[in-house]
Amino acid sequence: MILVWLIVILMVAGILAGLTGRFSTSWPRVISLLAVSIDFVISLVLWSQNSSYVKLFPQSDWFKQVDWAWVPQYGIHFHLAMDGLSLLMIVLTFLLGIMSVLISWREIQEGVGFFHFNLMWILAGILGVFLAVDLFLFYFMWELMLVPMFFLIAIWGHERRIYAAVKFFIFTQLSGLLMLIAILALYFIHHSTTGIYSFEYQDLLGTALTPHMAMLLMLGFFVAFAVKLPMFPFHPWLPDAHTEAPTAGSVILAGLLLKTGAYGMLRFVVPLFPGSAHEFAPVAMVLGVIGIIYGAILAFGQTDLKRLVAYTSVSHLGFALVGIFAWNELALEGVLIVMIAHGISTGALFMLVGGLQERTHTREMDRLRGLWATVPVMSGVMMFFAMASIGLPGLGDFVGEFLTLLGAYRVSLGVTIAAVIGILISTLYSLKVIQRAFHGPNTHEWSLPDLGKRELLIMVPMMLILLWIGLYPQPLFNTFKPAMQKLQLYAAPKPVMTMVPGARKLPYDQNGLAETNRSEP
Amino acid sequence: MASIPMQQGLLLAGILFAVGLAGLLVRRNVIFMLMSLEIMLNAAGLAFVVAGARWGQADGQIVFLFILTMAAAEVSVGLALVLRIYRRFKTLDADAVSEMRG
Amino acid sequence: MLHLLWLIPALPLAGFLILATLGKRMPRKMVPVFGAGSVGLSAIVAILIAFNFLTSTPPGNSYTQVLWTWMDVGGFHPQIAFYLDALSLVMVLVVTFVGFLIHFYSAEFMEEDEGYSRFFAYMNLFVASMCTLLLGSNLLLLFLGWEGVGLCSYLLIGFWYRDPVNGLAARKAFIVTRVGDTAMTLGLFLLFDKLGTLNIQELMHRALVQWPVGSTLPVLAGLLLLGGAVGKSAQLPLQTWLPDAMAGPTPTSALIHAATMVTAGVYLIARTHVLYSIAPQAQLAVAVVGVATLTLAGFSAITQSDIKRVLAYSTVSQIGYMFLALGVGAWSAAIFHFMTHAFFKALLFLAAGVIIESLHHEHSIFKMGGLRKEMPVAFWTFLAAGCSLAGLPLITAGFYSKGLIIWGAWSSTRGSGALWFFAVFGVLLTSLYTFRLIFLVFFGEMKTQIHKRPGFRMLMPCVVLAILSVVGGFVDTPEFLGNIHSFTDFLHLALPPVTEGPLRGMSELGSESLVTLAFLIGLYIAYLFFIRKRELAEAITTPAIAKALHRFWYSDWGMDWLYERVFVRPVMWIARVDKNDFIDYIYSGMALITELFYHGVRKTETGRMRWYAAGIAAGSIIFLAIVLFL
């Protein structure tokens, strides 16, 4: 029941914010902040209960769940459930939610009510995506988060906002339709073999499929999530959407929306279609590693600060893709950390860039230059997050990338080498940001206010969290581990291993790649 | 009463339809185009009646009645439009009023 | 007492945090108190721990302090733990002690600078990272320190950020060292994948048990780690960043780019010496890299005109000696040379800093001269350090440490005549460029007027280091000169002694004599060219071929030129050309095609009713025809 409340609080707060926005600009902000904070506290309480629950009931699939019949004759349920993975993603959602509300405090001055309505409903949709285990509900939530995001970009965005919003919408909508087709096909195939209509995740896990069909359906899901992730070559919507969105929009896009793609792969693609995912893994990993390198090079080529940061996401999320399809414990734990740490570090970078734009009204690095002299604290903070972005040990991103590649190394040497080179290129773009925007002579004679109290209130916790993840990530691992083992169990008996050129043969590689029908665990 | 062979009836209907179509395509005056339409409608009606007579069924006549009412409605709407067009453009040339090109 | 180990990195880290958060608000006088004080305290703790370690050596000759488990996933459980043995103790002592002296020096050197507290914050962070690197019990923690010192190096080279040239040098340093780190990261993956741990001691143990000598895996692992070491220690082929790194403030050059950070590669290889002992090919590669670097950098040093660049090439060359020592298995000799080098090279930089400060930031040695009388303290300390660098026999530390390496290159089973020859030839080069520097800067007539004289805080560290540069070598002397082995013996608690091969017709005394001869030849050439007959130096450089050679050596054997064309420009080109993302063109292309199609179809929408009617008729006829006849 608590899970429903988490969503309802956000939705109600959104409506209230929209209503109060008619006569006030501060009410919507306060209401939204309050709602997300309450949810954040609830999620932290849940987290604190989680470990003891897992100890008590190691066999149970879900830590918390709500299951209401929605359209029972078609097997549609309102089924929300939470395990370690969704729990962590939700904590991240609320954390970045609070930051998004705070960062919009001054930036958004028009249509405040509707803005916060959209913000709350996006968060509600994301929450639903992380919680839904009924595939119909999942698709519903998947679409729910798109529409307010579209408005957020199209109304409060920058110069080319309409173009960006439409591009974002077409990409995600088209790929979402592929997923819908795959969901329905799975649903009907499941009915034809068992005689039961069900959208239930647990039911569909065991569906018997021909290898060909499994591959098609897997690709349907995969493309939808790959567009969101975004995977090369489905990434071009991302830089436009991130660049044109208001700061809060960019933070939510980079920090959360992209994670729904990775989450979907973890939760659905591999467990539902382990065989074909296994078969497809080499392709996915290679695409992931191309994304790492290509995204980094693109980022390096940009002169627009926000666009540069946007492209880094393509690069960083490539690690998630590589890790997911390496599918061993090290890699998966690494993927989790990549997701969380990237959400925080890139979110913070977007906030800083947004802050710069608010002060200077430009994002062009050549127009900035030499800002260290006038905003030393901001520059230092920027340096911190830029270093997180290049994977400096001791900060969160390093742990994620290192573990991911450590896991990937066991699967494919070639991919790992290429990915490590990708990290090298990340040095180039991060240093470029520092050099072009903050170092050098202050030729444009900027004199700007440094980070204020509100901004420090946002930045300092995020820095501390990154340090914490970098130096003691164990609590995250402990929370994720039971959930991960469940996922691996679903995907058993064939662990997803690849045959990328250069990969070493593993003992379980021999038992039949083509055989894709999984037996019920 | 000696029955007329179906072929002849259908042939007449076909010729009438072709005449109507040709008129529609050739004439530029909207009134004449409406008249050509009427001819085509009646050609279709004739084909139904002939077919109905051939199989001794009433369906043909029923459909013809439908066509009649439809034609009446079409003419009343059409003439109203013609009046509007004439008021607006001071001409009845259909090509001259091609305002809705893409 | 040993349990205070964690304080060694923690104190400078605390200093960093205080200075980074409150540095702007605290009075300027307090900045060095925190900045230098934290490192000083750290040095005191290190000395106390060393005393404790020496008096009551812990069991197993090592002490491990586990702070917490970093992570524990899938059989991978690195800890935040510090490991102290003879090797790390020596390194930490040198780093904190020399580090403290340089901080002390900086208190005056940087006094006028607006980034006073920022400078000390970075320096403190550096010391903290360096100590973490040295004390880390596993390779991952070592890597944390490794990247941390890289970051600090970047920050300090680009310290005067207003000048884009400094920023360029800083980026170059960071990126080039990270190229090496890429290899090192792969090495870590390989080691963990094959041996299942990154704990150094455990790793070495398992390697010894599981891997036969000379098999592929240890060689591969050794080469990958060597890649990291080569980057950090500025050895061939990644040495190009170090001379440019001189853009940073002089104390930075002294501490980071001479005394400590650049020797991290030496430490890494010494730390993992077991791996190299079972991978002879990798160890040979270490020796070859060392010898090649020491020779090439020696030639480059002769041609430089910027005082700091001469010293930088000299650093590259001296670290080449350390690599040579590692490559022939003379582990303790490498560490010995690291220590003496830290003393005399730090001093050379500090003294150079004194001179540069006094001469209006003049860097060119050709515009200096005659400073012997004007700046006696600088002269005498510089001379002491220079003699130590060149290896003035019998009385300087450098003579003993270098002699030990050269003797190792001859006598070790993994040594050879060729290695020995180049090492001795390197002595000649060293002596030549060192005395060229000294003669040009301190002798002859004065060319630039002194405008300010250094104070006590800058001179005191120089004097201390000068004493150490001379007496620091007496802790270990060859057989025929007292036969003291206290340093080597102490290090043998952690590092194995040299395995001496059959002596090949030359005694240690013979080797040392030839080294002395090389030193004297170098000294004489320098004397001839830069004191006796200045015109001779000009005569020899006038022919076109000599000029070309000079330019070639001056530009570091054209390596920068090569890298610029092979790596930098292609990457820049791709990034520039692909700024708008080729892939996006595919999607815009799709959008464009849709639009074209729209324009095409639009044409048929004429607004002419008769056309529509004709279309409907034609369509119906075609449709009917299809239905009827197909």
pLDDT tens-digit series, residues A210-254: 888 889 999 999 999 999 988 888 999 999 999 999 999 999 999
CB < 8 Å to C603, chain B: 102
Residue B24 has its nearest CB partner, among C601, C602, C613, at: C613
List the one residue out of C383, C132, C175, C351 whose CA is nearest residue C253.
C351
Rounded-to-integer distance, Cα C508 and Cα C148, Å: 41
Q: How far apart are the first and last CA of chain A?
A: 29
Q: Is A298 within 8 Å of C140 when comparing Cβ atoms?
A: no
Neighbours of C (≥3 Cβ pairs closer than 8 A)?
A, B
Q: State ipTM.
A: 0.89
B92 touches chain C (CB under 8 A): no
Per 3-state DSSP, what percentage of chain A is helix, strand, and coil (rounded to 5)?
75, 5, 20
CB < 8 Å to C617, chain B: 21, 25
Query: Is the Cβ–Cβ distance between C399 and C416 less than 8 Å?
Result: no
pLDDT tens-digit series, residues A132-158: 999 999 999 999 989 999 999 999 988
pLDDT tens-digit series, residues B58-82: 888 999 999 999 999 999 999 999 9
CB < 8 Å to A441, chain C: 162-164
Q: How far apart are the first and last CA of chain B?
A: 56
Query: Is the Cβ–Cβ distance between C191 and C221 less than 8 Å?
Result: yes
CB < 8 Å to C606, chain B: 98, 101-102
The residues near C305 (Cβ < 8 Å, ≥ 6 apart) are C364, C365, C366
Residue C68 has its nearest CB partner, among A373, A376, A472, at: A472
B43 touches chain C (CB under 8 A): no
Judge residue C52's burial from the number of C-beta atoms within 10 Å of its C-beta, 0-12 exposed, 13-18 middle, 19 or more buried. Answer: middle
Tokens standing for residue C310: 């001469």
Rounded-to-integer distance, Cα C138 and Cα A224, Å: 41
pLDDT tens-digit series, residues A365-387: 888 888 888 888 899 999 999 99
Closest CA–CA distance from residue A370 to any residue of chain C (Å) = 7
CB < 8 Å to B99, chain C: 607
Of A476-490, A504-518, C497-511, the poorest mean pLDDT is in: A504-518
Rounded-to-integer distance, Cα A497 and Cα A125, Å: 33
Q: Is C608 within 8 Å of B25 when comparing Cβ atoms?
A: no
> Global pTM?
0.87
Q: Chain-centre distance of CA A148, in angstroms?
A: 17
CB < 8 Å to C140, chain A: 393, 402
Of A302-306, B51-55, C388-392, C482-486, the poorest mean pLDDT is in: C482-486
Residue C174 has its nearest CB partner, among A416, A427, A473, at: A427
- Of all residues in chain C, the percent with pLDDT exceeding 70 is 100
Mark the ranges of chain C whose per-residue pLDDT is less than 50.
Answer: none
Rounded-to-integer distance, Cα A462 and Cα A477, Å: 19
Closest CA–CA distance from residue B27 to any residue of chain C (Å) = 9
Q: Is C74 within 8 Å of A329 when comparing Cβ atoms?
A: yes
The owner of tokens 């240890």 is C218
Pairing of strands C79-85, C62-69: antiparallel
B99 touches chain C (CB under 8 A): yes
Tell me the mean pLDDT in the region A456-466.
Answer: 92
Rounded-to-integer distance, Cα A159 and Cα A143, Å: 26
List the one residue out of A156, A188, A267 whose CA is nearest residue A221.
A267
Rounded-to-integer distance, Cα A313 and Cα A241, Å: 12
pLDDT at B22 exceeding the cut of 70: yes
Q: What is the CA radius of gyration of chain A?
A: 22
Pick the residue from chain C with its C-alpha nearest to A409.
C189
Q: Is A420 within 8 Å of C68 when comparing Cβ atoms?
A: no
- Of all residues in chain A, the percent with pLDDT exceeding 70 is 94
C575 touches chain A (CB under 8 A): yes
C73 touches chain A (CB under 8 A): yes
- Predicted pLDDT at A325: 92
- Predicted pLDDT at B2: 56
Residue A474 has its nearest CB partner, among C72, C162, C576, at: C72
- Predicted pLDDT at A361: 87
Q: What backbone torsions phi and psi does residue A502 show, to the nearest 5 degrees? A: 95, -10
Residue B51 CB neighbour total at 10 angstroms: 17
b or e along C373-384 (b: 16 or more beta carbons within 10 Å of the residue's beta carbon)?
eebebbbbbbbb
- Predicted pLDDT at A513: 39
Banded pLDDT at A493 (limits 50, 70, 90): low
Rounded-to-integer distance, Cα C387 and Cα C431, Å: 8
Which amino acid would we find at residue A265?
M
Rounded-to-integer distance, Cα C23 and Cα C167, Å: 23
Chain A, residues 146-185, CB within 8 A of chain C, namely: none
Q: Is C617 within 8 Å of B25 when comparing Cβ atoms?
A: yes
Residue C73 has its nearest CB partner, among A373, A392, A477, at: A477
Query: Is the Cβ–Cβ distance between A272 and A205 less than 8 Å?
Result: yes
Q: Put residue C75 in one of left, alpha, beta given phi > 0 → left and psi -120 to 50 → alpha.
A: left
Tokens standing for residue A299: 């980022």
Banded pLDDT at A496 (limits 50, 70, 90): very low
The residues near C249 (Cβ < 8 Å, ≥ 6 apart) are C106, C109, C110, C113, C119, C156, C159, C160
List the one residue out of A252, A242, A369 whose CA is nearest residue A298.
A242
- Predicted pLDDT at A419: 92
C194 touches chain A (CB under 8 A): no
Neighbours of A (≥3 Cβ pairs closer than 8 A)?
C
The angle at the Cα of A265, spanning A263 to A266, to the nearest 5 degrees, equals 65
- Predicted pLDDT at C285: 92
Q: What is the 3-state secondary structure (H, E, C) of C202-249?
A: HHHHHHHHHCCCCCHHHHHHHHHHHHHHHHHCCCCCCCCHHHHHHHCC
Tell me the mean pLDDT in the region A17-21.
Answer: 91
Pick the residue from chain B with its C-alpha nearest to C598.
B102
